[in-house]
């Protein structure tokens, strides 16, 4: 696809993410790396691939393994063939990858985001009719910096019984993510950006993050800017989520707050995501491997399918992205074919097929 730039070219600081500038669909198939992932990953990415193909998005998939699946198969959690594929395609649809708690190899997600400079993790979180959730009409966008903070992985033992984890915040990365959030807000007609922080305690690190956000905000007078301390913001989110629009967060707060936001709209099975750099992107649901339901054909495929719609947008096929979102909305709204997390008894396959049918029926009516 002519409009996409390779992961390793350019300076990666441009605001040209969150949708390709090129809306053409008459292009040759895009090469996209497909990483099924661990746990429920293969089930939900499989659903997303079926829906993208049925929608007619022109993609040639390059199937690659990562994480536990790759470790079992090839002895490496990040095989060279995966890295080569990503360098070649610069875009991927990815399932969740397992990371052990307190031991084992470092997160492959963090590695991929850092290696390919995918600094902006975008998680649009919205309510759907027909989904039981604490609130209606929630429409939030989480913008999470994803190359630094405590995720830099700088940890050491000072002496037995004392360890340190280093929180790295730089002006460069903070300015870049703030500009991404404001640019996204402006392009998508969003009213406000709220920077969420703990600068009352971490005066230097979160203080720098805020300083950068304030500086960038001056260039976007058309978008309201405000700030909230992370603990108070969490309370506000669960009492009045409508008070928020675009949320701008460092890496760790962004991770935690985006799962909280998922809870507002029906759970982790509902929220898609994308990791953008200036030169490539990886699309993935917010949720993890869901080991408790893996292999049971019970996982909600919506988050992965909506991540697929974000991929279609990025590839310039806005029409397919629109039809995928409509079909998901129709199936959720009808409320007949829902997975157990949404209070139904449908399998992943049944819900995916209902979405496929809805797309076909709409096409037949047009």
Give the residue from 37, 22, 223, 231 showing the smallest Cα distance to 141: 223
Q: For the chain, how many residues are written? A: 366
**Window of 97-105, 113-121, 196-204, 212-220 that interacts with ligand NAD by CB under 6 A:** 97-105
Rounded to a whole number of angstroms, the minimum distance from the CB of residue 48 to ligand NAD is 11
259 is catalytic: yes
30: enclosing H helix or E strand: strand 30-35
Q: Is residue 268 part of the contact set for ligand NAD (CB under 6 A)?
A: yes
Cβ nearer to ligand NAD, comparing 68 with 181: 68
Q: Is residue 265 part of the contact set for ligand NAD (CB under 6 A)?
A: no
How does DSSP classify residue 354?
H
Cβ nearer to ligand NAD, comparing 51 with 208: 51
231 is catalytic: yes
Residue 250, classed as helix, strand or coil, is: coil
The residue from 94, 198, 279, 318 that is catalytic is 198
State the Cα angle at 96 between 279 and 81, rounded to 5°.
55
Contacts of 175 (CB under 8 A, 6+ apart): 212, 215, 216
Give the residue from 8, 18, 5, 319 showing the smallest Cα distance to 143: 18
SS (H, E, C) 193-235: EEEEECCCCCCCHHHHHHHHHHHHHCCCCCCEEEEEEHHHHHH
Rounded to a whole number of angstroms, the minimum distance from the CB of residue 346 to ligand NAD is 12
Rounded to a whole number of angstroms, the minimum distance from the CB of residue 300 to ligand NAD is 4
159: exposed, middle or buried (Cβ count in 10 Å: 0-12, 13-18, 19+):
exposed
How many of the chain's residues bind ligand NAD (CB under 6 A)? 21
Rounded to a whole number of angstroms, the minimum distance from the CB of residue 297 to ligand NAD is 11
Buried-exposed string 193-217: b where 16+ CB fall within 10 A, e elsewhere: bbbbbbbeeeeebbbbbbebbeebb
Rounded to a whole number of angstroms, the minimum distance from the CB of residue 95 to ligand NAD is 7
255 is catalytic: yes
151 is catalytic: yes
116: enclosing H helix or E strand: none
**Window of 94-102, 131-139, 214-222, 241-249 that interacts with ligand NAD by CB under 6 A:** 94-102
Among 251, 289, 307, 358, interactor with ligand NAD by CB under 6 A = 289
225 is catalytic: no
Rounded to a whole number of angstroms, the minimum distance from the CB of residue 259 to ligand NAD is 8
One character per residue 316-345, x = contact with ligand NAD (rule: CB under 6 A): -------------------------x----
**Window of 154-162, 178-186, 242-250, 299-307 that interacts with ligand NAD by CB under 6 A:** 299-307
Q: How far apart are CA 173 and CA 148, in angstroms?
A: 8
In the range 213-232, which residues lie near ligand NAD by CB under 6 A? Answer: none
Catalytic residues: 151, 198, 231, 255, 259
| Residues forming the site for ligand NAD (CB under 6 A) | 40, 44, 96-99, 109, 268-269, 284, 287-293, 299-300, 303, 341
């Amino acid at each position: 696809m002519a409009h996409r730039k390779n992961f390793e070219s350019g300076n990666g600081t441009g605001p040209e993410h969150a949708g390709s500038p090129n809306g053409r669909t008459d292009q040759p198939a895009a090469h996209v790396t497909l990483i099924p992932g661990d746990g429920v990953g293969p089930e939900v990415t499989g659903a997303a691939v079926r829906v993208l193909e049925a929608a007619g998005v022109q993609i040639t998939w390059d199937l690659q393994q990562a994480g536990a699946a790759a470790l079992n198969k090839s002895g490496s959690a990040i095989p060279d063939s995966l890295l080569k594929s990503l360098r070649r395609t610069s875009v991927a649809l990815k399932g969740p990858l397992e990371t052990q708690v307190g031991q084992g190899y470092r997160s492959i997600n963090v590695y991929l985001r850092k290696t390919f400079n995918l600094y902006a993790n975008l998680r649009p979180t919205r309510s759907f009719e027909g989904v039981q959730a604490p609130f209606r009409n929630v429409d939030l966008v989480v913008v999470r910096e994803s190359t630094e903070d405590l995720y830099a992985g700088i940890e050491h033992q000072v002496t037995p019984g004392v360890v340190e984890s280093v929180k790295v915040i730089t002006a460069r990365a903070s300015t870049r993510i703030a500009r991404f959030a404001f640019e996204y807000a402006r392009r998508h007609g969003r009213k406000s950006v709220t920077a969420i922080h703990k600068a009352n305690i971490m005066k230097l690190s979160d203080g720098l993050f805020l300083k950068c956000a304030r500086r960038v905000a001056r260039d976007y007078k058309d978008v309201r800017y405000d700030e909230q301390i992370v603990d108070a913001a969490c309370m506000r989110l669960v009492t009045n989520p409508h008070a928020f629009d675009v949320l701008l967060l460092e890496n760790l707060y962004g991770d935690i707050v985006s799962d909280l936001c998922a809870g507002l709209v029906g759970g982790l099975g509902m929220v898609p995501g994308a990791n953008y750099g200036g030169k490539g992107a990886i699309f993935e649901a917010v949720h993890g491997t869901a080991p408790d339901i893996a292999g049971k054909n019970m996982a909600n495929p919506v988050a992965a399918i909506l991540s697929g719609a974000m991929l279609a947008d990025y590839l310039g096929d806005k029409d397919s992205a629109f039809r995928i979102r409509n079909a998901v909305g129709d199936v959720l709204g009808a409320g007949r074919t829902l997975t157990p997390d949404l209070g139904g008894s449908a399998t992943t396959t049944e819900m995916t097929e209902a979405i496929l049918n809805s797309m076909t029926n709409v096409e037949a009516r047009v």
